[in-house]
Amino acid sequence: MSGPSTGESSKAKANGVGKAFVTKDLDGHDLPPSPAPSTPRNGRKYALMTELVYTESNDQYNASSVPIYQSATFKQDSAMGGGQEYDYTRSGNPTRTHLERHLAKIMSANRALVVSSGMGCLDVITRLLRPGDEVVTGDDLYGGTNRLLKYLSTHGGIIVHHVDTTQPEAVRAAVNSKTAMVLLETPTNPLIKIVDIPTIASHAHQINPTAIVAVDNTMLSPLLQNPLDLGADIVYESGTKYLSGHHDLMAGVIAINDASLGDRLFFTINASGCGLSPFDSWLLLRGVKTLGVRMEKQQSNAQRIAEFLESHGFRVRYPGLKSHPQYDLHWSMARGAGAVLSFETGDVNVSERIVESARLWAISVSFGCVNSLISMPCRMSHASIDEKTRRERNMPEDIIRLCVGIEDPEDLIDDLSRALVQAGAVNITPDGFRALGAGNVVGEADSGKAAETPAV
- Residue 384 interacting partner from ligand PLP, ligand LKTG3HHF, none (CB closer than 5 to 8 Å by kind): ligand LKTG3HHF
Please, which residue, 207 or 362, has the CB nearer to ligand PLP? 362
| Segment interacting with ligand LKTG3HHF, rule: CB under 6 A, options 103-111, 195-203, 265-273, 359-367 | 359-367
216 is catalytic: yes
In the chain, helix, strand, coil percent, each to 5?
35, 15, 50
Please, which residue, 216 or 398, has the CB nearer to ligand PLP? 216
Catalytic-role residue among 111, 193, 241, 353: 241
**CB of 275 closer than 8 Å to CB of 90:** yes
Give the number of residues written for the chain: 456
Instruction: Provide, rounded to whole angstroms, the least separation between the CB of residue 437 and ligand PLP.
Output: 26
Please, which residue, 16 or 118, has the CB nearer to ligand LKTG3HHF? 118
Helix, strand counts (H, E) of the chain: 15, 16
**CB of 245 closer than 8 Å to CB of 291:** yes
Q: Which residues of 42-72 are buried (b: 16+ CB within 10 A; e: fewer)?
A: eeeeeebeebbeebbbbbeeeeeebbbbeee
The C-alpha atoms of residue 267 and residue 317 are separated, in whole angstroms, by: 40
Please, which residue, 179 or 342, has the CB nearer to ligand LKTG3HHF? 342
Residue nearest to ligand PLP (CB): 118
Long-range contacts of 151-154 (CB under 8 A, 24+ apart): 152/126
- Residue 31 interacting partner from ligand LKTG3HHF, ligand PLP, none (CB closer than 5 to 8 Å by kind): none
Please, which residue, 214 or 421, has the CB nearer to ligand PLP? 214
SS (H, E, C) 66-78: CCCCCCCECCCCC
The C-alpha atoms of residue 430 and residue 111 are separated, in whole angstroms, by: 58
Cα–Cα nearest to 438, from 453, 428, 426, 450: 426
Cis (ω within 30 of 0) for the bond into 187? Answer: yes
Catalytic-role residue among 59, 105, 123, 142: 142
Instruction: Provide, rounded to whole angstroms, the least separation between the CB of residue 218 and ligand LKTG3HHF.
Output: 8
Q: Is 362 in the site for ligand LKTG3HHF (CB under 6 A)?
A: no
Q: Is 365 in the site for ligand LKTG3HHF (CB under 6 A)?
A: yes
- Residue 252 interacting partner from ligand LKTG3HHF, ligand PLP, none (CB closer than 5 to 8 Å by kind): ligand PLP
x/- contact string, 384-403, with ligand LKTG3HHF (CB under 6 A)? x-------------------
| Segment interacting with ligand LKTG3HHF, rule: CB under 6 A, options 227-235, 288-296, 365-373, 409-417 | 365-373
Angle at 398 (CA atoms; ends 437, 319), nearest 5 degrees: 90
193 is catalytic: no
Cα–Cα nearest to 372, from 434, 284, 453, 294: 294
Instruction: Provide, rounded to whole angstroms, the least separation between the CB of residue 118 and ligand PLP.
Output: 2
- Residue 225 interacting partner from ligand PLP, ligand LKTG3HHF, none (CB closer than 5 to 8 Å by kind): none
Q: Report the chain's C-alpha Rg in angstroms.
A: 23
Catalytic-role residue among 90, 127, 289, 418: 90
327 is catalytic: no
| Residue ranges that bind ligand PLP, judged by CB under 6 A | 117-119, 142, 144-145, 185, 189, 216, 218-219, 238, 240, 250, 252
Cis (ω within 30 of 0) for the bond into 227? Answer: no
The C-alpha atoms of residue 195 and residue 193 are separated, in whole angstroms, by: 7
142 is catalytic: yes
x/- contact string, 125-154, with ligand LKTG3HHF (CB under 6 A)? -----------------x-x----------
**CB of 405 closer than 8 Å to CB of 301:** yes
Q: Is 381 in the site for ligand LKTG3HHF (CB under 6 A)?
A: yes
- Binding residues for ligand LKTG3HHF, rule: CB under 6 A, are 142, 144, 189, 365-367, 381, 384
The catalytic site residues sit at: 90, 142, 216, 241
